[in-house]
Amino acid sequence: MEQLYGPVRDYAWGSRSAIAELQGRPVPSDGPEAELWLGAHPGAPATVDRDGARVSLLDLLAADPGHWLGAQVLDRFGPRLPFLLKVLAAEAPLSLQVHPDAEQARAGYAADCARADGPRNYVDPYHKPELLVALTPFDALCGFRDPAVSAAALASFGVPALAPVVDALTDGESGLREAVRLLLGWPAAERAGLVGAVVAAPVTGPDAALVRELAARYPDDPGVLVALLLHRVRLAPGEAIWMPAGNLHAYLRGTGVELMAASDNVLRCGLTPKHVDPVELLRILRFDVLDDPVVAARSVVPGVVTWPVPVDDFALYRVAGTAGSAEVRLPVPGPRVVLCVAGTVTVGDGAGVVTLRCGEAAIGTAEAGPLILGGPGEAFVAAAGLR
């Protein structure tokens, strides 16, 4: 194992305290800090020390992929780290967004690369399923809820213009597509009036509070109303949500560890000043009702849990503090990234031992042995999901 240094992305919705506090830096930070990236994605690769200088993990992988990835990962994914580990810290809502599946990503990227002005929606040819585990209380929108519940919520505001949307939702799952299409296609000149009418309605309750919270930032965005079609999920620390391809979601507030396939493909439809493409989003969006977006943790060995997901790009483990001299042996395959999120953790793999403080990370190659973790802290381990 050797220490890994991840860049911090300064997106506007980021916190000025969460990542800085995790890493023991002064608070508040100079600007918003949204995501700590611990991987080899070309957008912001992490680095390691080599002869007194920081060297990109992306370059090291390219120079010797077999050493870093191992034959199994190399055969399945090619010469690239298939996962990206992040710390995400949201002080304000992120965009309403969806990610493509593998086939959609390949086709979309090829089409975008053929454009004269370059890629617009797809920045790479890979899918981007995501798993997020809360480090603090975490608030999110994730997956479509029962359309009947959404219809009742919209109808309760008593806004006549919303009647076609309510009618569509009464058709159940088959009407979800039409309801989303109507809202996202609302004439631009009428959007502020529609959102304003909903905000002004004399209605109380969680749905009304959500609309007013979002409308305070995006007063003319129909995504404020699309949000009412989704589950509002409040995670306690240690709870997780799974976002498969085609699932509409938005993070609202909180800090979490996020593990995903190594892609940056995002299709947005609202709650953002960034590029939106409702037509393309509707094409890849899945209109299935999600019964429960929360993923239950499963014990692996004493002190270690994981959250099973139906992809082989990645797997995530949380290792709790060990007592006294006890150690945890974790024989996960391929390259491994370890992030300490509390206290101190010692991690070795037969090729080297690193002691990590809170907010620090390490990486080990596929050629090293099983991970051995000890110490009173808490850590997350990211690895390929191959078995």
**Domain holding 317: CATH number?**
2.60.120.10
Q: What pLDDT, on a 0 to 100 scale, did the predictor assign at position 325?
A: 52
Task: Assess whether 88 and 196 both reside in one domain.
Answer: no
Residue 372, in any domain of the structure: yes
| Of 227, 246, 272, the domain-final residue | 227
Residue 350, in any domain of the structure: yes
| Of 227, 258, 274, the domain-final residue | 227
Task: Assess whether 209 and 267 both reside in one domain.
Answer: no
Residues of the chain above pLDDT 90, percent: 91
Residue 244, in any domain of the structure: yes
Q: Express each pLDDT in 181-238 by its tens digit.
A: 999 999 999 999 999 999 999 999 999 999 999 999 999 999 999 999 999 999 999 9
User: Binding residue per annotation — 99?
Assistant: yes
Q: Domains in the chain: how many in total?
A: 3
Residue 155, in any domain of the structure: yes
pLDDT range class, residue 387, cuts 50, 70, 90? confident
User: Binding residue per annotation — 378?
Assistant: no
Q: Is residue 376 within 8 Å of 344, Cβ to Cβ?
A: yes
Q: What pLDDT, on a 0 to 100 scale, did the predictor assign at position 356?
A: 97
User: Binding residue per annotation — 130?
Assistant: yes
Measured CA to CA, the distance from residue 343 to residue 345 in angstroms comes to 7
- What the block records as the tokens of 356 is 């990590």
Find the domain containing 202 and state its range: 146-227
pLDDT range class, residue 106, cuts 50, 70, 90? very high
Task: Assess whether 223 and 240 both reside in one domain.
Answer: no
* Active site amino acids: 268
Q: pTM above 0.85?
A: yes
294: exposed, middle or buried (Cβ count in 10 Å: 0-12, 13-18, 19+)? middle
Measured CA to CA, the distance from residue 277 to residue 301 in angstroms comes to 45
Task: Assess whether 209 and 261 both reside in one domain.
Answer: no
Task: Assess whether 325 and 276 both reside in one domain.
Answer: no
Residue 28, in any domain of the structure: yes
Q: What pLDDT, on a 0 to 100 scale, did the predictor assign at position 116?
A: 81
Residue 325, in any domain of the structure: yes
- DSSP secondary structure string for all residues of 178-198: HHHHHHHTS-HHHHHHHHHHH
Task: Assess whether 279 and 138 both reside in one domain.
Answer: yes
Task: Assess whether 339 and 237 both reside in one domain.
Answer: no
User: Binding residue per annotation — 2?
Assistant: no
Q: What pLDDT, on a 0 to 100 scale, did the predictor assign at position 115?
A: 87
CA angle 284, 289, 293 (to 5 degrees): 95
